[in-house]
């Protein structure tokens, strides 16, 4: 989930810098996305990542401490799926409902996780939806039941 914090914007040294808090990125994808964004938006906005703890509880506590102390300088947070309601109820993040016009482009579950009190408080970024694959030939050879849905031929 991505959410805009309650800051007035421009958490960096100038009003064109956005501070984006997120846990460590072991893939190297996030720095490349930020680099691409900054190149495309040169002269407008520039994003600086603030790396937060990889432990979700420590990250949450650090954000809460900063927000309770008056907001700090974080503009956008990468959040755990269970944080939006608590952050919204506490007034730590902004209502994005009027800016979030393409809700049909998102899966219902992740969108619901970003909805609180009938308003959208974050944007689903990625889902950790696991998939199970199996080899039908080996299952049949072992004599186990098929996992096919009833009425499906493949």
Q: Which pLDDT value is given to residue 7? A: 45
In the chain, the number of structural domains is 1
Q: Which pLDDT value is given to residue 125? A: 84
* Residue 42 belongs to some domain of the structure: yes
* Residue 85 belongs to some domain of the structure: yes
User: Environment class of residue 1 by beta-carbon count within 10 Å: exposed (0-12), middle (13-18) or buried (19+)?
Assistant: buried
* Residue 53 belongs to some domain of the structure: yes
Residue 39, sorted as left (phi over 0), alpha (psi -120 to 50) or beta, turns out to be alpha
Percent over 70 (pLDDT), the chain? 83
* Residue 118 belongs to some domain of the structure: yes
- Identify the CATH number of the domain in which residue 96 sits: 3.40.190.10
Q: How confident is the model at residue 4 (pLDDT cuts 50, 70, 90)?
A: low
* Residue 107 belongs to some domain of the structure: yes
* Residue 64 belongs to some domain of the structure: yes
Query: Residues 15-57: pLDDT tens digits?
Result: 789 999 999 998 989 999 999 999 999 989 999 999 999 999 9
Residue 99 belongs to domain spanning: 2-128
Res 59 pLDDT > 60: yes
User: pTM of whole model > 0.75?
Assistant: no
Q: Which pLDDT value is given to residue 32? A: 94
Query: Residues 81-99: pLDDT tens digits?
Result: 889 999 999 999 999 999 8
* Residue 148 belongs to some domain of the structure: no
* Residue 25 belongs to some domain of the structure: yes
């Amino acid at each position: 989930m991505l959410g805009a914090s309650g800051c007035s914007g421009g958490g960096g040294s100038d009003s064109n810098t956005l501070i984006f808090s997120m846990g460590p990125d072991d893939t190297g994808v996030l720095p490349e996305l930020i680099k691409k964004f900054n190149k495309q938006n040169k002269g407008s906005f520039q994003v600086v990542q603030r790396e937060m703890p990889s432990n979700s509880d420590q990250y949450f506590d650090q954000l809460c401490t900063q927000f309770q102390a008056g907001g700090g300088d974080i503009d956008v947070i990468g959040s755990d799926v269970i944080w939006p309601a608590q952050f919204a109820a506490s007034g730590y993040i902004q209502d994005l409902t009027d800016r979030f016009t393409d809700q049909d482009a998102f899966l219902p579950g992740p969108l619901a996780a970003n909805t609180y009190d009938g308003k959208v408080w974050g944007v689903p970024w990625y889902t950790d939806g696991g998939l199970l694959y199996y080899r039908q030939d080996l299952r049949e050879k072992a004599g186990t039941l098929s996992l096919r849905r009833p009425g499906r031929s493949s």
